Amino acid sequence: MNKTLILVVEDDRSVQNLMVTTLKAHDYRYLIANNGETAILETSSHNPDIVLLDLGLPDVDGIEVIRKIRTWSNVPIIVISARSEDTDKVEALDAGADDYLTKPFSVEELLARLRVTERRLASMQADQVSSSVFINGSLKIDYSAGCVYLDGEELHLTPIEYKLLCLLSKNVGKVLTHTFITQNIWGHSWENDVASLRVFMATLRKKLEKNDDAVQYIQTHVGIGYRMMKVE
């Protein structure tokens, strides 16, 4: 029995039905909110494990809902928006959302996003036990020693590559926007920072994903940012 409680925030009945049917079929528990005000209320009163949030709501802007929830809660938020609204996705991620789904989406996509988020929750709980060492598949980061190992062999990273890898690993499972990453690495986010980021990310991936073609640690989200995946 899956005990994860999902809050579904969606005013479109057909999309809402699709989500609820999917959640029921996979033994998730769920709550429904038809607008932003109810979403905020339900989050504070029922403390869901994950929030699925449509950005286009009839009362409050979805971005506002994220900002409100983030004032007191770190609950993972997956935003749902139309394909044309890439800037909204970036804004939502920068406001504190964890991931996004693009309409129209398939049941498989929805379930995959939920699994990624559940793994992220599980690894966050595990991290509280030992926070100085990060392990993901054959990747190991010893934060206190500043060393990175892949398959037991030390990886030689430049200081920026190491900073990037730490930032991604500390947010494993979460999509990080270009702005968020460049501000964390360089303290600002200028046009050419995003271009440099692309270069550093390419060299980091070359070092990280050289051995095993099947394992992909870092996902690229075109026009949005990057995410480190939790590897089984």
- State the amino acid at position 14 in one-letter form: S
Candidates 6-14, 41-49, 63-71, 157-165; binding stretch for Ca ion (CB under 5 A): 6-14
The CA-atom distances, in angstroms, between 81 and each of 21, 89, 96 are 19, 7, 15
Considering only residues 10 to 69 of the shown chain, the ones binding Ca ion according to CB under 5 A are 11-12, 54, 56
Candidates 5-13, 95-103, 188-196, 204-212; binding stretch for Ca ion (CB under 5 A): 5-13
**Which residue, among 61, 58, 97, has the nearest Cα to 79 in the 3D structure?**
97
Pairing status of strand 50-54 against strand 29-33 = unpaired
Pairing status of strand 225-228 against strand 176-177 = antiparallel
Q: How far is the CB of 18 from Ca ion (least distance, A)?
A: 13
- Token digits for 127? 């991290």
- Token digits for 184? 């964390």
By beta-carbon proximity to Ca ion, the closer residue of 12 and 209 is 12
Q: In terms of C-beta density within 10 A (0-12 exposed, 13-18 middle, 19 or more buried), how is residue 142 classed?
A: middle
**Position 88 contacts Ca ion (CB under 5 A):** no
Q: How far is the CB of 95 from Ca ion (least distance, A)?
A: 17
Could you tell me how many residues of this chain bind Ca ion (CB under 5 A)?
4
Nearest residue to Ca ion, using CB? 56
By beta-carbon proximity to Ca ion, the closer residue of 58 and 146 is 58
* Helices vs. strands in the chain: H and E counts, helices first: 8, 12
By beta-carbon proximity to Ca ion, the closer residue of 54 and 99 is 54
**Which residue, among 206, 222, 87, 74, has the nearest Cα to 150 in the 3D structure?**
206
Q: How far is the CB of 11 from Ca ion (least distance, A)?
A: 5
By beta-carbon proximity to Ca ion, the closer residue of 12 and 94 is 12
In the complex, the residues that contact Ca ion under the rule CB under 5 A are 11-12, 54, 56
